[in-house]
A and B are shown apart, each in its own frame.
Chain A
Amino acid sequence: MSRHIDRRHVLSGALSLALAAMFVPSTRAAVRRKRLKAPYDRYIFVPNRNSADVAIIDTDSDSVIARVPVGRVPHQVAVSDTLGRLVASNTADNTVSVIDLARLAPVATLTLDNEPEHMELSPDGRLAAVGNIAAGTVSLVSLSESREIARVQGLHEPHNMTFSPDGRFVYVGNLGANFVSVIDVAAAQVVDEIAVPDDAPLAALPGTEEEHQGIINVTRTPDGRLGFAAYGDGGSLAVIDLRSRRVLKVLQLGELPWRAYATADGRHMIVPNNGDRTVSIIATVSPFEEVARLEGAADMTGVNTGWFETVAFVISRTEGRLVVLDLQRRQNAGSIDLGADSTPETGVTTPDGRRLYVALSGRDEVAVIDTKARWLIRRIGGVGREPWGTHMVGALNYCH
């Protein structure tokens, strides 16, 4: 008798547990915390614009191993492997989050100026230059002390920052002007402006609003000698000697050039021209000529190279595809369809050049491209909502 009762009790208990499990929220979507072990160069870091977190992908398994909460609308992330810290710019909160990677725990949340968007780490990984694009300032943030040590005034919609190889200067692409500002880091001041001639003419009555596109970025060669700054409204690309701060040459490219992307070997710059859907390839040795102009696509906001710099992938966020360029033959080589609804944002190529990881904000995924075979090999889900970019230590990182 007692055995029969015990069995009913056991069965009802098991049934109760099963019913309870159905209504307990799945932990699959929750943050899967895990300590990260240095070195950190095998991870992809993905800011998620709509879920206020950063996903961490292990490239050994191509799976998400953690999602770390940050502030609202994280725009870009950067990783200092020397300090073991990740920094994320939270544009809706006007803050940056500093995260300890070993513990995956927050170290500090620093309030900066209006809309911190893009940033660049100094070569030693200890300082971050963060552009507060809506305020016209650049914050210099010490990652070792976790504090803002200076706020530089006098920029004009600072869009991207580039450190000199010795860390002494920061070159700022001003979206609201046709010149590059040079910041002396020690003095925390703008010490020069390098103009990209000519300032584009305006034929309108005062007060007429129009979209403008000044300088998105200064892309330097690996040795730091030269900087390439595309001036969108002027349809031109300036080649700048960064040591003398002199413009050596101005090239007329296609219409509405976006910015220059360097090949990993530094031999070429690749510039998408969004006004006429072409892509310019420029040699980085004098006489600095445009060596090819190839077919692009609509709304190109990213270029990644790979496989021993034999191939480039140009991201078209509107068309949901990558335009493939053969860099050896300097010709178009097809495209990779990521899906009409994919909305690719930016990508990063692994330092060995074998794989490209592209954030797909429209599908909440990261696409993995084999750069040798030139095709999509997998999609990584569970990344978060609206992944905005991908970042990897030791790679050529960028943000749009």
Chain B
Amino acid sequence: MAGAFVASILLIGWPLEMGIAAGFACASHPGTLDTPSDRTASQTPAHVKRLWERLQRIQPGRPLPSPQAIWLRQCRRDMDCVARALLPHLDSRTRLVPVMHPDTDTIRLVKNRPSIVDVSRPASSVLRLSIVRFGRTAEREVLAALTAAPGTRVLELDLRGQQGGRLRNMLRLAGLFTGAVPDAVILAGARRTVLAVPARPQRLPWPVRLRVLVDRRTASSAEIFAALLRRHAGARILGERTFGKDWVARPVAVSHDWRLLVPAERVIVPGESLAGGLEPDAPLPAMEARTGR
């Protein structure tokens, strides 16, 4: 009886044991192709360790649960799950966002998303450019539009509804109007960084009076841009009080398709007040305000 019991255990257990052994062998064999379902499960500990380091550098003093607790036990090595699990432990403004992957032509500068989406002439000597983003070719587009409109005395940069973008891109465009400004923007937080408006290889072809149009949806680097132009290029800001996002985020790569935007530093433009939104110099004329973007 005991022998039969032992034999039955062996008969059942042996194939099970071999199956488990084979599974471990397959999992540990170098060079095994991962199946799509294993894609996130194969994220290595190196990335997890570095992710924790990056988050703690951006938001020091915020206790995070251990990587093993989240990555291994809770999320079973799924990095996107890890990012979601970390959110409650980070600043409440932290967001998990999809990565917008560029195509080949965008990567090698063949294709660029336009920064100016509309060019109009509200009056004979006034040129208005609607700037929806601070793209790579923003400077070129502004110069081309201005060069194509001789006789322009007033240049209006319409930032109504513009929701910001990369700080450095914005600073390059600002330089077209302000020239080099060494201590233009201060990022104050766990670390303090002073950003300059860089000198630009080209300048405006002739002097113009600047107006910047804003509304309550004008946000982030668009607000900073308006503040810089008022401070350093004599621009007048017309419209409504802006959105009031006076802080920057640091992107932290989680996986190929997702990243965390982690609030990092507060933005200060010396001589201007961004907290609560940038106050304009004057409202827009009533008709303009009604038909604005």
Using CB atoms and an 8 Å cutoff, list the residues of chain A in contact with chain B.
75, 91, 115, 117, 134-136, 140, 148-151, 153-157, 159, 174-179, 182, 186-193, 195, 198-213, 233-235, 255-256, 274-278, 299, 301, 317-318, 400
Contacts and interface: CB of A to CB of B under 8 A. Distances in A.
Interface string B244-282: 010011111101110101001101000000000000000
Interface string B82-111: 000000000000010101111010111110
A204 B30 contact: no
B125 to A, nearest CB: 30
Nearest 3 pairs of A and B residues by beta carbon: A136-B256, A204-B164, A203-B221
Given A148-B33, A150-B30, A203-B245, A176 B99 contact: yes
Contact of A190 (B32, B47, B133): B47
Contacts of B104: 75, 91, 115, 117
Contacts of A191: 44, 46
A205 B163 contact: yes
Q: Is the interface of A mostly helix, strand, loop or mixed?
A: loop
A212 B102 CA distance: 8
A205 B257 contact: no
Given A210-B135, A255-B172, A299-B109, A155 B256 contact: yes
Given A203-B221, A210-B133, A317-B109, A157 B101 contact: yes
Nearest to A148: B33
Contacts of A276: 172, 198-201
A390 to B, nearest CB: 15
B253 A174 contact: yes
B147 interface: no
A199 B54 contact: yes
Contact of A201 (B44, B113, B167): B167
Nearest to A91: B104
A195 B57 CA distance: 12
A151 B252 contact: no
B168 interface: yes
Given A179-B50, A206-B261, A274-B109, A199 B252 contact: yes
B74 interface: no
A159 B109 CA distance: 14
Interface in B219-254: 219-221, 224, 243, 245, 248-253
A151 B33 contact: yes
Interface in B193-228: 193, 198-201, 219-221, 224
Nearest to A73: B104
Nearest to A132: B256
B52 to A, nearest CB: 12
A211 B165 CA distance: 9
Contact of A209 (B33, B40, B100, B193): B100
Nearest to A201: B248
A211 B43 CA distance: 26
Contact of B163 (A190, A204, A299): A204
A200 B167 contact: yes
B102 A177 contact: no
Contacts of A117: 104
A301 B108 contact: yes
A207 B43 CA distance: 26
A234 B50 CA distance: 19
Given A115-B104, A202-B250, 5 more contacts: A136-B256, A140-B31, A157-B256, A204-B219, A277-B201
12 contacts: A153-B39, A153-B42, A156-B256, A182-B46, A193-B50, A202-B250, A203-B267, A204-B163, A210-B100, A255-B198, A275-B172, A301-B108
B153 interface: no
With most chain B CB atoms within 10 A of its CB, the pick from A174, A186, A255 is A255
A301 B109 contact: yes
A154 B42 contact: yes
Nearest to A158: B256
B248 A135 contact: no
B32 to A, nearest CB: 7
A211 B168 contact: no
B166 interface: yes
Nearest to B47: A154
Given A190-B44, A203-B221, A211-B112, A156 B253 contact: yes
Interface in B145-191: 163-170, 172, 187
B34 interface: yes
B251 A150 contact: no
B136 interface: yes
B97 to A, nearest CB: 5
Contact of B31 (A136, A154, A188, A203): A188
B164 A176 contact: no
A195 B248 CA distance: 20
A301 B165 CA distance: 24
A256 B245 contact: no
A150 B31 contact: yes
B224 A206 contact: no
Contacts of B135: 210-211
Nearest to A210: B165
B112 to A, nearest CB: 7
Contacts of A153: 34, 39-40, 42-43
A140 B243 CA distance: 49
